[in-house]
């Protein structure tokens, strides 16, 4: 049987994909590699098959991601729902991750059908980005914020958001050909929320800064698409892209 796991992770060097073959080993930890090494501690009959629901770059923290794991117990042709205790599996998988000093945890797990596809079955995905124009960002805030060196115009950003918020748009130009083949239909409705935030010790800083958060929610919205959309929204706010040019990308 196929097991669906809900997981979270944090860290600068975690990337949500397998490491590339025939390339030197880097300092990057790949999410599927971390899961595979943990599953191998269960001594499966063969190498497990792992598929993530969404891909993330380094420096991206995940509050909740999903992945499917296919593996066989020793001496078994197929893993049945009665042959594995899910709470035991989750507990020991987390124990292995803790022992190996991984910043990833399994939130939940359950059996799913063999044909279940996590990339296509996700009800929705929410991406949260925190930005700041403050160069003197604290050590506490650094892992959670993206520093922007150019000034930001929040009114321009709001105008750009209005062009896409809760509207049915074809995002084919915002993703790669292989992703378009996977999705079949690239029309999506994206909900975008902008909220202004304050940084730690902001009252004690001499220079004013802009701190804000972007929250994007959509059904089956791949990471490459949301990354490209977020980049262009920030470019509009920085004056690097006009509203007209941004709208042309959409229609």
* Residue from 134, 135, 130, 157 nearest 146 by CA: 130
Burial group, residue 226, by CB count within 10 angstroms (0-12, 13-18, 19+): buried
pLDDT in tens, 155-193: 999 999 999 999 999 888 887 777 777 667 888 889 999
Quick one: what percent of the chain has pLDDT higher than 70? 78
Number of residues written out for the chain:
251
CB 234 within 8 A of CB 150: no
Task: Write out the residue range of the structural domain in which residue 46 sits.
Answer: 2-120
Q: Are residues 130 and 236 in the same domain?
A: yes
Q: What is the CATH number of the domain that holds 169?
A: 3.30.70.660
pTM for the full predicted model: 0.70
More confident residue, 77 or 112: 112
CATH number for the domain including 68? 3.30.70.580
Distances in Å between the Cα of 189 and the Cα atoms of 92, 167, 244, 245 are 39, 5, 20, 20
DSSP code for 207:
S
Predicted confidence (pLDDT) per residue in 213-242, tens digit = 999 988 766 777 888 999 999 999 999 999
Q: Higher pLDDT residue, 232 or 139? A: 232
> Do 67 and 95 fall into the same domain?
yes
User: What pLDDT band is residue 68 in, cutting at 50, 70 and 90?
Assistant: very high
Domain boundary residue among 120, 148, 166? 120
The residue among 62, 204, 52 whose CA lies nearest residue 136 is: 204
Annotate 20-74 with DSSP letters as a single string: PTTS---SPEEHHHHHHHHHHTT--SSPPEEEESS---TT--EEEEEEEEE---T
**Statement to judge: residues 115 and 168 lie in one domain:** no
The reported pLDDT for the residue numbered 78 is 52
Domain boundary (104, 120, 136) is at: 120
Nearest-5° angle of CA 67, CA 45, CA 56? 20
* 159 and 171 within one domain: yes
Residue 192 pLDDT: 95
pLDDT reading at 202 higher than 80: no
Tens digits of residue pLDDT in 69-93: 998 777 654 555 556 788 999 999 9
pLDDT of residue 27: 58
The residues pairing with 14 across neighbouring beta strands, listed in sequence order, are: 29
Give the end-to-end CA distance of the chain in Å, rounded to a whole number.
43
Domain end: 120, 144, 163, which one? 120
Cα four-point dihedral sign 17, 3, 100, 74: negative
Are residue 96 and residue 153 in the same domain, yes or no?
no
Please, which pLDDT band fits residue 22 given cuts at 50, 70 and 90? very low
Domain count, the chain: 2
- Residues 198 and 238 grouped into a single domain: yes
């Amino acid at each position: 049987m196929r097991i669906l796991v809900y997981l979270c992770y944090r860290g600068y060097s975690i990337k949500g994909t397998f490491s590339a073959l025939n390339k030197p080993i880097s300092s990057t930890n790949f999410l599927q590699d971390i899961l595979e090494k943990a599953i191998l501690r269960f001594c499966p009959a063969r190498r497990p098959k792992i598929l993530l629901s969404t891909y993330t770059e380094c420096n991206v923290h995940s509050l909740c991601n999903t992945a499917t794991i296919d593996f066989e117990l020793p001496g078994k042709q197929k893993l049945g729902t009665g042959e594995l205790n899910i709470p035991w599996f989750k507990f020991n998988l987390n124990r292995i991750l803790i022992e190996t000093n991984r910043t990833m945890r399994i939130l939940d797990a359950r059996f799913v059908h063999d044909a279940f596809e996590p990339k296509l079955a996700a009800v929705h995905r929410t991406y949260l980005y925190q930005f700041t124009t403050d160069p003197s960002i604290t050590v506490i805030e650094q892992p959670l914020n993206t520093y922007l060196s150019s000034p930001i115009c929040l009114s321009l950003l709001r105008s750009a958001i209005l062009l896409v918020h809760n509207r049915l748009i074809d995002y084919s130009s915002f993703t790669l050909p292989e992703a378009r083949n996977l999705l079949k239909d690239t029309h999506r409705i994206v909900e975008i929320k902008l909220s202004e935030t304050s940084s730690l010790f902001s009252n004690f800083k001499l220079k004013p800064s802009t701190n804000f958060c972007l929250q994007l929610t959509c059904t089956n919205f791949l990471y490459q698409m949301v990354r490209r959309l977020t980049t262009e929204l920030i470019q509009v706010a920085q004056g690097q892209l006009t509203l007209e040019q941004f709208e042309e990308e959409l229609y």
